[in-house]
Amino acid sequence: MPVTLKDISHAAGVSIPTVSLILNGKGDQYNVNTRKRVLKTAKELGYRPNAGALAMRRGRFNTIAILQTADYEKNQLPGPTLGGIRSTLEPKDMHVMLAALPDEKLTSKAYVPKILREWMTDGLLINYTHGFPERMIELIDEFRIPSIWINTKQKHDCAYPDDLAGGVMATEYLLALGHRDIAYMDVSHASDKLEEAHYSARDRLAGYEQAMKAAGAKPRVILGDAGGSSANRLPMLTALLGRGDRPRAILAYGHSISIAYAAARCGVRIPEELSFVSFDAKQRSDLGLPITTAEVPCMEVGCAAAKMLLDKIDRVDRKLPAKVLGFRMAEGRTVAPAK
């Protein structure tokens, strides 16, 4: 049987209204000893307040929802980002839940206004990284739903990594070591798919090209095959690195382990014959070789988005400036000075 206010009242020797006021943080008129006795008794008896009743009284659920599309390719949420969200909200006694919805609901004028009530949440962290329908944005604004976008470039109310500056930083790192023959490699995206891909695919490439041109070096861009699949990546990389005109340094959008495998298959030594830097959420050393990495600020994005949402919940009509987070270089053993 659940513990009631009457049970606590009887055990603590005070009235039920006294117990109610103290447990709801409104018992300042009672002396310290009485308040301590009631709280201690409630804890010892295992009292748990009715969350629904508290939410109705306070007008808050103390919960935020990570809202994402049902299309799993467009709702990527790295573990460090989720960790940043949780570490920011938990000290505020805020809980996190996950809500995955199809576009039909996210663009429905009948459904969107009910999101907060149906999911019993105070605001949304939107994990819909690219290709989202404009109608969704319009409805969220129209119905004044407290929302912050994660890892998506918007004019306001969003937190995302500065991939353009990250591309510049990683390229300049290689240039500073004397490399000039630096290729940018993104085997995840074909050239005809870049516009519909996540913004990072375009911004990292643009940052690379900007840094190369500023240094007077010729950009060399290697993208995936149109219609290609992940199964083709290792053969493609192996063929590329096995050629005599292979680049001497690579800045990779990702797939750093595949590059290391391909180099090993071709007998190309890293970093003596090939230097490479990769973008990643954290430095990897799966092969016993720490990879020089331009680390994406995933945790910082989560922390920033959660803090922004707390502000947004308090003042929903205020447009918050976008929070843009910088990368950092994690030095490894896959880069050597140019010879």
**Structural domain boundaries of the chain?**
5-49, 63-161+299-326, 163-296
**What is the identity of the amino acid at 98?**
L
How far, in Å, CA of 164 to CA of 149, rounded? Answer: 19
Q: What per-residue confidence (pLDDT) applies to 59?
A: 52
Fold of 63-161+299-326: Rossmann fold (3.40.50)
Q: List C-alpha distances in Å: 28 to 19, 44, 50, 57, 261.
A: 12, 22, 22, 19, 67
pLDDT for res 60: 64
Per-residue pLDDT of the chain (339 residues; tens, 9 = 90+): 677 888 888 888 988 888 878 877 777 788 888 888 988 888 888 876 655 555 544 556 788 999 988 888 888 888 999 999 999 998 888 889 988 889 999 999 898 888 887 788 899 999 999 888 899 989 998 889 999 999 999 889 999 999 999 999 999 999 999 999 999 999 888 888 888 899 999 999 999 999 999 999 999 999 887 555 566 778 888 888 888 889 999 999 988 888 888 998 999 999 999 999 999 999 988 778 899 999 999 999 999 999 999 999 988 889 999 999 999 999 999 999 998
pLDDT at 56: 45
**pTM of model > 0.85:** no
What Rg do the C-alpha atoms of the chain give, in angstroms?
Answer: 26
Write down the pLDDT at residue 1. Answer: 64
User: How much is the pLDDT for 19?
Assistant: 82
Q: How many angstroms separate the CA atoms of 240 and 15, rounded?
A: 80
Distances in Å between the Cα of 297 and the Cα atoms of 50, 136, 151 are 38, 27, 10
pLDDT of residue 339: 83
Burial class (CB in 10 A: 0-12, 13-18, 19+), 21: middle
Task: Please check whether the domain covering 163-296 is classified as CATH 3.40.50.2300.
Answer: yes
Phi-psi region of 176 (alpha: psi -120 to 50; beta: other; left: phi over 0): alpha
Question: 163-296: same fold as 63-161+299-326?
Answer: yes
Is 5-49 a domain of CATH 1.10.260.40?
yes
